[in-house]
Structure 1
Amino acid sequence: MTKPVVVGLDGSSSSLDAVAAAAHEAALRGAQLRLVHAFGAPPLHALAGGGPPWNPAAAGVRELLDGTLTAAERRADEVAPGLDIARDVTVGDPLTVLEIASRTSALVVVGSRGLNAFGSLLLGSTAAHLAAHGRCPVLVVRGRLNPAGPVLLAVDDAPASEEAVRFAFAEASLRGADLDALHVCRASSPDSYDGPADPPFVTYSESHLREHAEQVLKEALSGPQESHPHVTVRRMPLVGRVRHTLIEASADAQLIVAGARGRGGFTGLLLGSVSQALLHHAHCPVAVVRHKQ
C-alpha cells in the first residue's frame, strides 16, 4: 500500500501553501493526502483563575477547525481534483504529532511560517527540528514556486547524502524535471569563508578541488542514475562558498534536496549548517532527507 503524504495545518497562509504542495506530491504518487491539525497546550487564560475546566467545544475550537480543514480541502481540490483526503485532528504537541506521523508516511509537508498563537504549528526552529528528527523526508514550502525549473540536489561526500540522492532522482522522475546535482568545494581563499561551521582552511588549487567535486558526483550519482535512465542529469562540480552557492542556485529550481546526518541529539548537529541555511534562505521549497542508520 502506498504511504500517505502528510501536511501540517495551523490555519495560516503558509500552511495553505503547504497543502497545495502536499496535494501535488500526493497526486504524483497516487497517495492519500492526510491533513493533520494538532492542538498544543490550551491558552494560559483558559487555565488561570480557578474557573471551570477548559472545554474545546465551548472555546470556538470546533468552528476554527471546520474553517481550517474546509479551506485546506478546498485548496487541495484546486490542485488535484478527486484526491483521497483524510482528516486527522488530535490534541498534543504539533511537532510530536508530526514526528509520529512521519513514521508511516511517504512525505511530511509543512510551511516555513506559522501562527504565533494557540494551535500554532511552525514557530522559530520547529521546521528545522522536524526536518532533523522526522522519520521520512520533510518538505518545507518556502520561496517561490517554479514548476518549470529543475530539481536541485546538494550532494555531500558523506553517507548522509545517499537517501537524499535517491529521493531527488525519484522527485525528478515524478515531476518530469531535470536534475541538477551540485557538489561545491570550498574555494581556497579567505573570501570563501561562510562561517564557523566551515571546515579548517586548507589551500588547494582550484583544479584539484574541481576534480574532487567531479569524483564525488560520479560516485554519488552512478547507481541512482542507472535506475532512472530517463532523468536528465547535469553534474555541476563547483568551487566557491558552499552555502552561498547553493542558495544562489536555488533561485531557478522548483525544489532543492539536501541530506541530514541522522545522528546526535541537537538539531544543528543533525541537520548540518548547509541544510539549516537552505531552510532559512533558499529561494524555493526545500526537502530534507534524513540518513537512516
Structure 2
Amino acid sequence: MTTTQPAPIVIGYDGSPGSVSALHWAADAADRALAPLRIVEAFEVVIVTRPSPGHVVPLEAVRTARQATLEKLAASIRDEHPGLEVQTSLVGGPAAGTLLDAAQDARLVVLGSRGHGGWSGLLVGSVAVQVTTHAECPVVVIPHDLRRHAQEGPTVVVGVDGSKASANAVDFAFGQADALQAKVVALHAWTSPFLTYADGASMLQFDEDKIREESRLLVAESVAGAAADHPDVEWTTELVTGSAAQALVRRAESADLVVVGSRGRGGFTGLLLGSVSQSVLHHAHCPIAIVR
C-alpha cells in the first residue's frame, strides 16, 4: 500500500533576522502538522558591467558556500525538532518567483516581512506583497519587528465577512488554533450606514440593534462548520463598528496569529489582494496569515 507524502511547509530564507524568525515559526508549524519543512533560498546572479577592484570570488564557490550554510541550518533545525523532515533548496532566480514556484505543491508558505539582498527587492516588503498576492496556498508573514506579549493563553484572530476567502480563512484559523491549543476570536466589523445630506436636514435611518444581530448571525453561520470540525477549540465573537482593517490591526496587538482572506466582499473584484489584507499585512505586529 502506498502512502501519500504530506505537502511541505515552505520557508523563504535569506539569513536576515526576519527570515530567521520565520524559519523557527515554520519549523514549529511543520512539527505540529507532521509535514516536511522545505527551506528555500533564492540565488540571484548580479552582473557587474564595470570592473571591480579586489578579489573576485567564483560563482560556483559562492553557491557551494551558501548550500553548505543551508545544510548546516537544516541540521540545527533537525536537532531542535527530532523526527522532522527538513529539505533545502538553493534556487537560481528572483526571490518572489522562486517562492511562488516552491508554493505550487506546498500546504503553507512562511516568510519574513522584510529581508535583505534577493528577498527584499527594490521596495521594503515587496517580496512578501508579491507572494501573498499570487500564491495559491496560505501564506504566513512574520513581521520583522515581531512583538512578544504576555497574556493568559494563545489567541488566533480571524476576520469574518461572509465571503468565500473569509470562509477559507476561518477554516485555516481553527486548524491553527487546534494545533496551538489556542482560542479563536472571530472578528466582524461593520460600518454605520448613516448618511447626512449637505444641508443637514435629512439622514438615512437604520436599526442598529438589527444590524448587530445580523452581524452576529453572519459570524455564527460562518464559524459553524469549522467549530464543529474542531470541537475542542474555544471561540468568541467580536463585533465592532468602523474599519475592519483598523480593528484587526488593533486586535493583533494581543494575538499570536491574525488570519484574513485575500479579498473580502468589498472593493474591486479584479484585485487579487484586498485593501483589508494589505493594511493588516503592512501594520500588524504579529504573524499574519493570508488565505485565498
TM-score, L = length of structure 1: 0.82
Counterpart position of 2:112: 111
Counterpart position of 1:243: 245
Q: Partners in 2 of 1:82 and 1:252 — Cα distance?
A: 32
1:121 is displaced (CA, Å) by 4.8
Distance 1:104 1:145, change over 3 A: farther
Q: Partners in 1 of 2:85 and 2:217 — Cα distance?
A: 44
Q: Which runs of 4+ in 1 moved over 6 A?
A: none
Aligned 1:10-159 pairs, distance under 5 A: 10-40=14-44, 42-45=45-48, 47-48=49-50, 55-58=58-61, 60-67=62-69, 69-71=71-73, 73-74=75-76, 76-77=77-78, 79-115=80-116, 117=117, 119-121=118-120, 123-142=124-143, 143-145=146-148, 148-159=153-164
How well do the aligned residues superpose, as a CA RMSD in angstroms?
Answer: 2.8
Deviates more, 1:125-134 or 1:105-114: 125-134
Counterpart position of 1:184: 189
Distance 1:204 1:110, change over 3 A: farther
Q: Partners in 2 of 1:71 and 1:15 — Cα distance?
A: 12
Q: Partners in 2 of 1:216 and 1:79 — Cα distance?
A: 42
Unaligned runs of 5+ in 1: 191-201
Work out whether 1:8 is the aligned partner of 2:12: yes
**Cα deviation code 1:203-228 (max 9, x no counterpart):** 64432332232122022111111111
User: Partner amino acid for 1:144?
Assistant: R
TM-score, L = length of structure 2: 0.82
Aligned 1:183-202 pairs, distance under 5 A: 183-188=188-193
**Cα deviation code 1:9-66 (max 9, x no counterpart):** 11111101110000010001011110001122x2242x556xxx995224x3432443
Contact kept? 1:145, 1:285, Cα under 8 Å: no
Counterpart position of 2:199: none
Counterpart position of 2:201: none
Task: Specify the SS of the correspondent of 1:103.
Answer: helix
Distance 1:144 1:82, change over 3 A: farther
Unaligned runs of 5+ in 2: 196-203
Q: Partners in 1 of 2:102 and 2:81 — Cα distance?
A: 22
Deviates more, 1:60-69 or 1:130-139: 60-69
Q: Partners in 1 of 2:58 and 2:125 — Cα distance?
A: 28
Q: Percent identity?
A: 35
Q: Partners in 2 of 1:20 and 1:125 — Cα distance?
A: 22
Counterpart position of 2:218: 216
**Cα deviation code 1:242-266 (max 9, x no counterpart):** 211111111111101000139xxx9
Counterpart position of 1:277: 279
User: Partner amino acid for 1:84?
Assistant: E
Contact kept? 2:37, 2:84, Cα under 8 Å: yes
